Chain A
């Protein structure tokens, strides 16, 4: 597809379980971002990948959160031992470079019960 693709679109998980969220960026885009949006709130930065550089992990809220980007394309955000406060929409964006427009996917709505 032409846009940023995220899967699954919705995920319900039990507290304490691990979850993996996937992001397929736009082809050729070297920069990839993960954000979190809680109900009625703005976007909270989580992590940023740019090419082969070390990722900027400064927004990850705890060591239960991790992300990787394989082959400079697909990215996976993993949340271990999920907590109810992790419930949010997780958004992925990509851009051609750090100084160009960023385009978002539709997000993964995570609910921890």
Chain B
């Protein structure tokens, strides 16, 4: 079993829809959570960073962390064609290994 599980999709939705992207994890030591967006042939771009349970909002993006369920989500409101990309979740624990552990990534397409 992978430490971080993420549905690879692909996910295709109409413009303006609310998108929900999710990751589950098994390591209860994970305390720092990130979401990255990666366009084709580009490096991952940091979207959201959080280290506590609850919600964090930035514009059309909301990151949600539920440590009790070992489940994180990224919501995109009013989705735009420019949001079409691969979204990667990443997490890191606070002791022991300090590397970032990534999900497989979800490929998202927003259709005009």
A-to-B contact residues, CB < 8 Å: 4, 31, 33, 35, 41-43, 45, 48, 50, 56, 58-59, 91, 93, 98-99, 101-107, 109
A-B interface pairs (CB < 8 A), number: 59
A102 pairs with B46, CB closer than 8 A: yes
- B36: which A residues are within 8 A, CB to CB? 104
A56→B106 CA distance, assembly (Å): 28
- Please, what's the 1-or-0 string for B4-41, where 1 marks a CB less than 8 Å from any CB in chain A? 00100000000000000000000000001010100001
Chain B, range 90-104, C-beta contacts under 8 Å to A? 90, 92, 94, 97-104
- In addition to A58-B99, A107-B42, 20 A-B residue pairs with Cβ atoms within 8 Å of each other are A31-B98, A42-B6, A42-B103, A42-B104, A43-B44, A43-B100, A43-B102, A45-B100, A58-B97, A91-B43, A91-B44, A93-B100, A98-B92, A98-B98, A99-B51, A102-B46, A103-B46, A104-B44, A104-B45, A107-B43
